[in-house]
Amino acid sequence: MMSRGHGRIINVGAFADLVPVSNSSTYAASKDGRRALTKTIGADMGNDYPDIFCVKWIPGYLNTQVIYLN
């Protein structure tokens, strides 16, 4: 991307860093780290690569079934 001077970096995130739920502190912290990483990459690109974009995409809520294995 840097040699071409344009491109897109898309990090897939979750709502966990915005609206954390109980018993998910580690997961929420990892998602907050991804948010910070996305912003930092964008700042690093800065004025040198204005046509390389780094964004976080949150696909939305997904209700998954929890399966407990004995």
- Three-state SS for 5-28 is CCEEEEEECCHHHCCCCCCCHHHH
Question: pLDDT tens, 3-47?
Answer: 999 999 999 888 887 887 888 888 888 888 888 999 999 999 888
The structural domain count of the chain equals: 1
Is there a domain that residue 69 lies in?
Answer: no
Is there a domain that residue 2 lies in?
Answer: no
Instruction: Tell if the pTM clears 0.75, that is, is over it.
Output: no
Across 42-54, average pLDDT: 91
Domain, as residue range, for 42? 7-57
Is there a domain that residue 42 lies in?
Answer: yes
31: enclosing H helix or E strand: helix 25-45
Is there a domain that residue 48 lies in?
Answer: yes
Is there a domain that residue 46 lies in?
Answer: yes
Is there a domain that residue 65 lies in?
Answer: no
Is there a domain that residue 44 lies in?
Answer: yes
